[in-house]
Structure 1
């Protein structure tokens, strides 16, 4: 549906461009190529009609089968390896929000790392949760250790670009304790807040208010009270932001932007 909507949107823009070109040529008295532009416009309009009617659906990725349309099978998550379980859950419960969470230690060493295990769980009061794990040596992530010291965290959401994806890949890799990813990868921050990335699409500022142990896991759920959002000019609450997210294991992509359906109630 998403790809089909993009194609329709593009073709309609082509029609608008053709109409504008025809109008300009008519005003100039340059009538020689008008017939060609009219033919292009009409053929494109016909293509739009066929795509919208579903005549060319075979050109687009097929929709996956529904549970009632085939023999459903059951997979025991406990029986899977960690890698297999991660692949299934990230491919199915997806897309997931992606944010680079920036923190600082009491000594001023800044840390930044990507997380997809986060969610805004309350609008009033504004609250978010993020899952933070320990490594094989039972050492907690610097993100959590820093929040314990200063309580502060900034969720940096990224624009859709190869540069942003590269930053995610770089900061996902562990580096020596006490080393700042900001310095290691040349990341720049706003003068007004050293934890907000210059290249962020927007940022949400939060404060650690509570930690909750996850049962049978070397992980904690950090609960953040959100206080401020930092947005560029021109962005408002009327439209969802176009940002980088995770859709599938280790697969970064743009948030869906075209196909949508507005419902009457909040979910």
Structure 2
């Protein structure tokens, strides 16, 4: 077993260890709206659930070299809202296109051919291609990390104020009818994708069950 002190290697080496071992990671495609009205989108695999009461999710947005905010963090801070889309196989190529390093005045959804759709509870549009999208208000933004004056990232905590879920994802009950409560999501129909290292992604793959101790 190797023992590695992160303080004795550079940031790139620590990054490669993290993305190569913390796998697979769920991907959030996040849309935000700039103060000039430009719809921004970017994928983030530093993403997960925070709480269920109220429902909250987290997205960690790394800063640019020198500590400048990325578009997603800057827009979310300014507007107080963003929309999270769960990545799935049906639009993963378009999602990947949104990672292009565009200037703030250009729209990644337009570049990727994604379709904006109006949200119900926030001003930020969502994207029609995603089977699941979560309208979020910014609960808190926490600057973290960094070795100098500027933080290394901004941890955005979003409170979900509206769930949008494609009806086809609900598990059918014994009578064949779609269940409405509780909402059991059929992940085989969702076909989520997750992030690995480098340019690699993963599909759902084989599942197995281990009962929790009681």
TM-score when scaled to structure 2?
A: 0.80
- Which whole-Å CA distance do the structure 1 matches of 2:36 and 2:213 have between them? 47
When residues 219 and 191 of structure 1 are mapped into structure 2, their CA distance, relative to the original with a 3 A threshold, is closer
Tell me, yes or no, if the aligned pair for 1:160 and 1:243 is still in contact at 8 Å.
Answer: yes
- 1:261 paired to 2:209: yes
- 1:79 paired to 2:79: no
User: Cα offset for 1:229?
Assistant: 1.3
- 1:123 paired to 2:52: yes
User: Which of 116, 120, 127 is equivalent to 1:189?
Assistant: 116
Matched pairs, number: 192
- Which whole-Å CA distance do the structure 2 matches of 1:76 and 1:192 have between them? 46
User: Cα offset for 1:165?
Assistant: 3.1
User: Which of 24, 28, 32 is equivalent to 1:103?
Assistant: 32
Task: Please provide the CA RMSD for this pair.
Answer: 2.2
Secondary structure at the aligned position of 2:198 is classed as coil
User: Which region of structure 1 is more displaced relative to structure 2, 183-192 or 96-105?
Assistant: 183-192
When residues 215 and 139 of structure 1 are mapped into structure 2, their CA distance, relative to the original with a 3 A threshold, is closer
When residues 204 and 262 of structure 1 are mapped into structure 2, their CA distance, relative to the original with a 3 A threshold, is farther
User: Cα offset for 1:232?
Assistant: 0.9
Q: Summarize deviations over 1:77-115 as a string: whole Å, max 9, x none.
A: 222333322222112111111011001023311100000
User: Cα offset for 1:167?
Assistant: 2.0
Q: Partner residue of 1:88?
A: 17
User: Which of 207, 221, 226 is equivalent to 2:155?
Assistant: 221
Q: Larger relative CO (CA 8 A, sep 6+): 1 or 2?
A: 2
Q: Partner residue of 1:170?
A: 97
Tell me, yes or no, if the aligned pair for 1:133 and 1:218 is still in contact at 8 Å.
Answer: yes
User: Cα offset for 1:143?
Assistant: 0.8
User: Cα offset for 1:191?
Assistant: 5.1
User: Which of 189, 194, 199 is equivalent to 1:245?
Assistant: 194
Unaligned runs of 5+ in 1: 1-71
User: Cα offset for 1:141?
Assistant: 0.9
Q: Summarize deviations over 1:192-215 as a string: whole Å, max 9, x none.
A: 566222211211111112111213
Unaligned runs of 5+ in 2: 171-182
User: Cα offset for 1:147?
Assistant: 1.1
- Structure with the higher fraction of residues in strand conformation: 2
User: Which of 112, 132, 136 is equivalent to 1:206?
Assistant: 136
TM-score when scaled to structure 1?
A: 0.65
Q: Partner residue of 2:175?
A: none
When residues 215 and 249 of structure 1 are mapped into structure 2, their CA distance, relative to the original with a 3 A threshold, is same
Q: Summarize deviations over 1:118-168 as a string: whole Å, max 9, x none.
A: 11111111111111222124320111111122111111112214xx33223
- Structure with the higher fraction of residues in helix conformation: 1
User: Cα offset for 1:172?
Assistant: 1.1
